[in-house]
Amino acid sequence: MCFHNKQKKKAEEAEKKYQAKVKDKANFLVSDHINAFTFPQTPVITNEDVTVIQNINWGLIPHWAKDQEIRKYTVNAKMETLYDKPAFKDVVQNRCIILSDGFYEWQWRDSKGKNKLKHLIEIEGSELFAFGGLYSEWYNTSTGAIEKTYTIVTTEAKGIMREVHNSKMRMPVVLTEENDQAWLGGEDFKAFTQVSPRLNAIPVIENGMLSLF
């Protein structure tokens, strides 16, 4: 799955790479650890307007939700069940890409997962890339505002991710420069099941030691 990532690139770098303007530079998130379950606003491009980089909350809230409670279950969406899950089936054409330059996974070092090793996953060169996602619009009755939220789509683990995420065997859809526009354009999800750039998995050292728990 994908619950922890990072985004260390500046707004100007994102604008140059994606030929889009950041809507709110003052709140453009730069962080070496973004936790999905804090439901942060992160840089996203939607197919509503591919020329704008928006700050959108992680954790999809479907239009029919009565409150925000559901978002803790919708930070990720399995590609295989998008058309079956009520939270996602209405927004499969609401495509977005989530800007990032890395994500974290924990490799199980024993059969029960009592000993895990944290890895940072990056594409070669630590370049900015994008996750494939879906977004929704939800009317917040408390504020009267229409809020955009997103989920990151996951697929079966491939390549190095089968070694790192060896418990769930899942990974986020990591898009290349060649296919991020195809994702935004609504191409069939099956076209992305075997797509993955060359990923590097780096064991994380914290306080001078490998990050084990």
Summarize pLDDT for 96-150 with one digit per residue, the tens: 999 999 999 999 988 888 899 999 999 988 899 999 999 999 999 999 999 999 9
Which token pair is 109? 């070092």
Distance CA 123, CA 101 (A): 8
* Residue 174 Rama label (left phi>0; alpha psi -120 to 50; beta): beta
Look up the pTM and report it: 0.94
Which token pair is 83? 């058309």
With a pLDDT cut of 90, the percent of the chain lying above it is 84
Q: What is the pLDDT of residue 207?
A: 57
Q: What is the pLDDT of residue 211?
A: 55
Distance CA 26, CA 146 (A): 21
> Which stretches of 20-171 are DSSP H helices?
86-89, 161-164
Q: What is the pLDDT of residue 124?
A: 85
**What single letter denotes the amino acid at residue 210?**
L
Q: What is the third-level CATH fold of 4-101+126-155+172-197?
A: hypothetical protein yedk fold (3.90.1680)
Q: What is the pLDDT of residue 209?
A: 43
Q: What is the pLDDT of residue 212?
A: 47
Asked whether residue 63 carries a pLDDT value surpassing 70, the answer given is: yes
**Residue range 182-202, pLDDT digits in tens:** 999 999 999 998 766 789 999
Count of beta carbons in the 10 Å neighbourhood of residue 7: 22
What's the mean per-residue pLDDT of the chain? 93
**Residue range 151-177, pLDDT digits in tens:** 999 999 998 999 998 888 999 999 988
Asked whether residue 206 carries a pLDDT value surpassing 90, the answer given is: no
CB 118 within 8 A of CB 26: no
**What mean pLDDT is predicted for residues 59-72?**
97
Tell which wins on pLDDT, 213 or 111: 111
CB 81 within 8 A of CB 51: no
Q: Where are the domains of the chain?
A: 4-101+126-155+172-197
